[in-house]
Structure 1
């Protein structure tokens, strides 16, 4: 008999039966919490915000779990009466006299006590190393090779087998010989690894575009560190098993409770890691942020819940391995974890055509996973004490369950689409455009425009509205009534007094560090602030040039403009919501019997702006070259939004739930919603502005800053960019660089640019949009999903293709490259990017017109080329998180082709417009997969060109800015609640 009730013994079937009985008792009495705890931890870890700073968060969670366990231990010691079999008191009670024979007298037992303490200290060190390793692997999950838990039972089974051979325990293997012994566990665990590897390809069609460089050893390093992680986990499990069966005991016999042991272990490992990590900050080359410097109290609740479930899990697991094998526990946990991965993959494909999952692959994964479970049960079950038909019944049950699972999956998965989504989106866009245009110019005269203004915005238009109306109609503006962007931008500023707005304007423009420059309007003349930074003087002069045609109709005022590319004002959600509520309540109380005359002597109220005194105080804080999404941007979202409560740490997989609200399958259908960050926590790793902006001075208070573009949630006031007004990137075809008709252009996707999106250190470039697009087009290594015609005529379905198959199938060339040099990065990142992405020659801007498809992406701010692309005969593809003044008047799928920033829609979109086919080894087309939709592409290109010529002219920029400055003039007037044009 074994010393412990369920210590594994391979000598006879009776002991195997005893082990099975003990396992059942564990599951029934003490360890039923293991499965629900694990399921909760797995589900909560998919997008838990605690993964933002993984090592720090894990150390806090383990420390908190230790406190919880010690608290349970103290309460158990204080209030429990130690009834027989009562929970945690079993380990505290003195050993029964009948069992004392297994322990030596005190003086002879000291080596054993010393060994136990050494194991305790060793476990603390292992857990500390595991904390640090966890952080590295989470940060580099994009290069992960396998899922993390299926290897654990295999390593433990090898340990069991080695331990069995080392102790030379020989048994009688009546069923299956050696396969009924410890080597059988090795085989079954290996089968589980195969099942885990079969599950991983199920998500091949929805891999993320975040880059894992092929020119570095990063994937190989991650592979070895993943193996090291499994070895550490195995060592921790083995140490836990030893401590559970040989607990630390005091000299008088009683042992520490499980909660005491593990409470001290978890607290000790967290403290040990924190001290070790703190020491690295004193190293000369260290660039680490101070420890816990970015801890956010809003995540404390999640951490406490995680800690509570971890504590319950540890108690249940410790009770399990006292009565049964740790190997069995690891196998059960691995099955549950693999089952979770499989189920989450399948559920994601239910009722939606995208993402797709191959039926045969799914069936194989289900069969392998359940087969691994049955093999393990078949091994554990003895032959003699049970009916011989039971294992076969279990196997048959597995087959039926798998078939039913796959059948239900097949029934509920929509595998084909009756019409291509792009056709649907184009039709919808045409209808919405007609409705929008009717509302944008609903009024036919000045009185109608005044009435429409009051209906839309709840107050009369500002003084001078009649002059603006004449200015707009004389310049044939198609848009008279719809200026909702202006109303949204200025609404919260009504919560500030006019004097406060004037003071903020003056103080910002008086300090050059703010990267703010002012335009001063006095007596109908606009002038630039005299001390504008030379590198941006052109911008302010361009704004003055834009204002000059209507400056004589404006009241005296100062306007401050952001001279950086990045937007500047991000007010927390609760603050801006309160300000908007205050502003709206103020609007409802206004009297419509108002004055149409500006206040006299307005120039006196702007006296500070004429002063040359430098203001020492700055309203902005420096936040360049660091994460902005979690520390700044997400705070503009509601507290319960996904951007505030989740963190998408699984960078290797596309976040389907993040894209779903604004997409139709793969394709972007709601351009405005796609710019909303609040339902897209994965954006934190998908753009340079969120990862590490090059120059970012931001304010958390509401400041009247006028910017060329902004990200959703920012409170800058948008105005037409001087870059576009001065035509810095001008559409000017010539004989040397003509602009052919759409169908006569070269079938190629073209983009040239620089790596100016953000500053890259420590590999942050791998998530930036420009680099991801370049990598996806030129040297992608992940499978891609493409929507193609299915075997049923008129239907479409998603297919998963290898990168080479996808690029070769398109009837076009991909000419996407970085021009001349890698910029805005550290030396190490520059070298890696140059090797991974390559560089190409710079081209003349007018060379763009010969290509059929022009891709446009954001940089550090808005793209200055998009308007020129719209004016051409080419078809513009646009990806953007920055919004400009004209975005509300552009219609995606009618004026341009929108692309999601994740680029998961790129290949299917190109296949639609350019066509797809299969090519044989001789380079000849063997099968046409999809005919090119040249007509549809030409329609969008033509409509975009026409609309740009009608509504995005320089005159339209003046009209927009004229109306905006009239609104700003009223906001800064001390009599603003009395001012209004009555008609």
Structure 2
């Protein structure tokens, strides 16, 4: 590498842009439109190269490297071979072809082998080895026939292309080793719908094409006389390649024009995409231009090797920091990979005569790597220790204390006077709604233990205070005429509904009116729109919700002068409803709303606040486990904070791991805040949760004692549950991943388990990597799909071949019942299990009216949607002792049946105390009182006041 300041600046730009891209590309909306994104990025890069050529006099090589024929002849020995004429069209074709390979590989990314790209420097070193030319040594001094043999051998060793190739292989293999240390996602590679061998072959072909393109481009640009000509040549290549990609993109759209559905211009999606294109385009332009200039000044191998080494060191340091956790339970492979990368790269710097590495001298880098290795060894020794107490012990105790605290906070008020004071204290001085005394009397009469805490209700209603009653009414009118919307009207103390034609919808509305009738006389006149579908439907961007929430806060209204407050009846601030065009339909289904899974995930990302991980884009890397996604809500391997887990905005990987996110949305979807009441929702949605369609959950269940139930963890679900399957949901959906993990795990799959070991005369615990098939053996899992009808459609047949079907069984006969959400977007049916003396093992992303009343590790056992702690969690309760060996040794972990029995009993007692039918009615009464005030024209003056 050249030592001048300009070349170092080029190297710094290269390294900075490479690191930035490496850290940011996992979450991007660009991947949803790969060909369009490729075209735009290439075009921006080509335009940037042409723009940079205008300022080439400030860049390295501006004065030209061929000042005379003599200089040219003297430099030819160190330059690459002269390029051929066919190089330029060949480079353009290979760039377009390479991008198509990337598109193919990403479609089955879970089947790829991590680290193959690390061997790109090896291919470039092999090219140098086979094209090596020894420069003639011209000297006036006579040859010393009695030179030092050791010195001669040392000089030969450092300058030999064999040594260069060996050192490159060494550190590239070290980087490749990191792939085996990276935890894998449970997103699986199916043997039926995926072609893993073909995907890996495409990876190798892509790396080979990368090497060919880099070498040919290096030759073309190196023989250009000035930096200006190089940049213009590079810009022309990139522009022509972008034209080739655009031709493919247009032909694909034309050939599939009848399939392009669900691409309604939702607000915010386009701006998010083009922001990603622009920001990424600048980074890619910087990377390509700096790589080209650096390679021309040195060799193409140097920037590639440094990029590979940088990736390896970043990955190694991340792995070292995880030593001692469930993600890196063993320190040996991590330290070995770090050492191999360091030793191999130092050898490479000597054999390639690199005295400077970007801005560091070679000696300084060597000292730094030695310090990193020594520090890592000390850190690994200090962190590698056993755990004296099982983490679940602490979680059960801590949440037991939290449950008592929650109940005290939820039932502070014992009199109406205290209830009013508590309400005003929690609502910034706002009075309770009218007839609050009637609600309080109703709640006390029905022995409600929750009097003061309705956090979910308040969160749902808060944005509507930022809208005028007329705006809310306009929104209701828009909902009123839509299909699958039930209307309940309360007038003159009586409730009625709009008599829908669907029998199921009519039954739900009848049940809801049956709940309302006992207190209807105390409610103001109103009409409410109820969502008859399982899925929520109000998906408003975070910016709009935040604006309305701030506008509706009591403190802001107190600060605003009257002339600035929204006028009643003024609906100018209400945007036009951004309703899905109902004419866009599934093939063969007239007037059926449809939003593609990709577009749906983009809309969900817009519902997250700026700066959150998910707002930056959905994570497309479905192969690797997202460590940063689970850390905020977990204690080690185990799920700790259930409330935070239900918030998807810090975990962008979750949008690929649930059927709700990976299947099309087949119901009307709205991006404006409309007053729609739904049974359940995820945190991305702005529907108002209402307790409906839960009457069946309060029917009597057969009460069998916990000890008399079978010691088995059971899960079953109908195979035909989903209305629409996609390629992604079949291998990434929450139900399919669960069954695959337990029944279809391959020999290469591994999980981390917290296992008991004997140390110092007592049982301690440590995390160990365990083959998934071995981990499944001792645990009494019985997970399966059921199907009572013959399989006729392709999806059903595929599920049968992949997983098989079993007969339905009575889940409540078992001690542990695994509960997951339905494929259609409905929440798990938790209440029957909660009331049955079985332990609910819950993995869900939905909230219902009672969700805030349940605490993990007290009323149910929580399991992260990624299932990475499923084996360790269930091993704690069912035990591993006398169940067979794991990792070639008998296990010592005894069953904690007392904790499982306690959770089953606590869940049943709490359900009978706080999630009864009466509690459902108390929630409904309070909700409708609050809503009645919000939609009233004089709501700012309405409120309940205690008599003097």
Q: TM-score range by the shorter chain?
A: 0.7 to 0.9
1:930 aligns with 2:907: no
Q: 1:836 aligns with which of 802, 816, 819?
A: 802
Q: Which string of whole-angstrom CA distances, capped at 9 and with x for unpartnered residues, describes residues 118-170 of structure 1?
A: 21121111111222222332332211113143121222233344446999xxx
Q: 2:835 aligns with which of 871, 881, 899?
A: 871
Which residue pairs with 2:755 in the alignment?
788
Q: Which string of whole-angstrom CA distances, capped at 9 and with x for unpartnered residues, describes residues 935-970 of structure 1?
A: 111111100000001111111111111221122222
Which residue pairs with 1:915 in the alignment?
879
Which residue pairs with 2:176 in the alignment?
197
Q: Secondary structure at the match of 1:931?
A: coil
Give the total of aligned pairs. 887
1:128 aligns with 2:91: no
CA distance in 2 between partners of 1:466 and 1:407 (Å): 67
1:207-606 aligned within 5 A: 207-247=184-224, 257-283=229-255, 287=259, 296-298=270-272, 300-347=274-321, 349=322, 353-377=325-349, 379-380=351-352, 400-401=370-371, 403-410=373-380, 413=383, 415-457=385-427, 458-512=429-483, 515-585=484-554, 589=558
The Cα of 1:834 is off from its aligned counterpart by 3.0
The Cα of 1:374 is off from its aligned counterpart by 3.8
CA distance in 1 between partners of 2:115 and 2:943 (Å): 65
Q: 1:657 aligns with which of 621, 624, 628?
A: 628
CA distance in 1 between partners of 2:13 and 2:523 (Å): 71
CA contact (8 A) 1:757 1:770 kept: no
Distance 1:210 1:415, change over 3 A: farther
CA distance in 1 between partners of 2:523 and 2:12 (Å): 75
The Cα of 1:629 is off from its aligned counterpart by 5.1
1:805 aligns with 2:774: yes
The Cα of 1:814 is off from its aligned counterpart by 1.0
Which residue pairs with 1:63 in the alignment?
43
CA distance in 1 between partners of 2:47 and 2:365 (Å): 45
The Cα of 1:273 is off from its aligned counterpart by 0.5
CA distance in 2 between partners of 1:535 and 1:898 (Å): 31
CA distance in 2 between partners of 1:378 and 1:35 (Å): 20
The worse-fitting range, judged by mean Cα deviation, of 234-243 and 44-53 is 44-53
1:717 aligns with 2:688: yes
CA distance in 1 between partners of 2:53 and 2:117 (Å): 30
CA distance in 2 between partners of 1:617 and 1:320 (Å): 53
Q: Which string of whole-angstrom CA distances, capped at 9 and with x for unpartnered residues, describes residues 423-448 of structure 1?
A: 11111111111111112221112222
The Cα of 1:533 is off from its aligned counterpart by 3.1
The Cα of 1:459 is off from its aligned counterpart by 2.1
The Cα of 1:816 is off from its aligned counterpart by 0.9
Q: Secondary structure at the match of 2:86?
A: helix
CA distance in 2 between partners of 1:947 and 1:789 (Å): 33
The Cα of 1:94 is off from its aligned counterpart by 6.7
Q: Which string of whole-angstrom CA distances, capped at 9 and with x for unpartnered residues, describes residues 857-907 of structure 1?
A: 112334352100100111001111110000111111111111111111211
CA contact (8 A) 2:92 2:237 kept: yes
Q: Secondary structure at the match of 2:766?
A: strand
CA distance in 2 between partners of 1:88 and 1:517 (Å): 73
The normalised TM-score by structure 2 is: 0.85
Q: Which string of whole-angstrom CA distances, capped at 9 and with x for unpartnered residues, describes residues 774-812 of structure 1?
A: 1112122321111223554464322111112211243xx
Which residue pairs with 1:87 in the alignment?
60
The Cα of 1:730 is off from its aligned counterpart by 4.8
CA distance in 2 between partners of 1:617 and 1:312 (Å): 42
Which residue pairs with 1:899 in the alignment?
863
Distance 1:819 1:319, change over 3 A: same
1:982 aligns with 2:948: no
Q: Which string of whole-angstrom CA distances, capped at 9 and with x for unpartnered residues, describes residues 152-200 of structure 1?
A: 1222233344446999xxxx99669999754444444443443233222
Q: Secondary structure at the match of 2:811?
A: helix
Distance 1:790 1:48, change over 3 A: farther
CA distance in 1 between partners of 2:667 and 2:113 (Å): 36
Which residue pairs with 1:144 in the alignment?
112
Q: Secondary structure at the match of 1:928?
A: coil
Q: Which string of whole-angstrom CA distances, capped at 9 and with x for unpartnered residues, describes residues 497-554 of structure 1?
A: 3333334323322333xx2110122332222203443442222222122222322333
CA distance in 2 between partners of 1:124 and 1:305 (Å): 24
The normalised TM-score by structure 1 is: 0.83
CA distance in 2 between partners of 1:419 and 1:36 (Å): 44
The Cα of 1:257 is off from its aligned counterpart by 1.9
CA distance in 1 between partners of 2:210 and 2:684 (Å): 42
In structure 1, the gaps of 5 or more residues are 1-20, 105-111, 386-391, 591-604, 606-615, 734-738
CA distance in 1 between partners of 2:556 and 2:254 (Å): 57
CA distance in 2 between partners of 1:625 and 1:754 (Å): 24
Distance 1:522 1:263, change over 3 A: same
CA distance in 2 between partners of 1:886 and 1:290 (Å): 34
CA distance in 2 between partners of 1:409 and 1:46 (Å): 29
Q: Which string of whole-angstrom CA distances, capped at 9 and with x for unpartnered residues, describes residues 687-741 of structure 1?
A: 122222442321111111110001103211111122x2134x95522xxxxx432
1:72 aligns with 2:64: no
Distance 1:371 1:87, change over 3 A: closer
CA distance in 2 between partners of 1:176 and 1:100 (Å): 28
1:668-679 aligned within 5 A: 668-679=639-650
Which residue pairs with 2:68 in the alignment?
96
In structure 2, the gaps of 5 or more residues are 136-148, 356-361, 560-568, 570-575, 582-592
Which residue pairs with 2:717 in the alignment?
753
The worse-fitting range, judged by mean Cα deviation, of 254-263 and 470-479 is 254-263
1:947-958 aligned within 5 A: 947-958=910-921
Which residue pairs with 1:857 in the alignment?
820
CA distance in 2 between partners of 1:505 and 1:51 (Å): 37
CA distance in 2 between partners of 1:281 and 1:29 (Å): 42
CA contact (8 A) 2:35 2:249 kept: no
The Cα of 1:931 is off from its aligned counterpart by 1.0
The Cα of 1:561 is off from its aligned counterpart by 0.3
The Cα of 1:311 is off from its aligned counterpart by 3.4
Distance 1:404 1:129, change over 3 A: same
Distance 1:808 1:180, change over 3 A: farther
The Cα of 1:301 is off from its aligned counterpart by 4.8
CA contact (8 A) 2:835 2:911 kept: yes
Distance 1:141 1:179, change over 3 A: farther
Distance 1:730 1:59, change over 3 A: farther
Which residue pairs with 1:638 in the alignment?
609
CA distance in 2 between partners of 1:938 and 1:62 (Å): 61
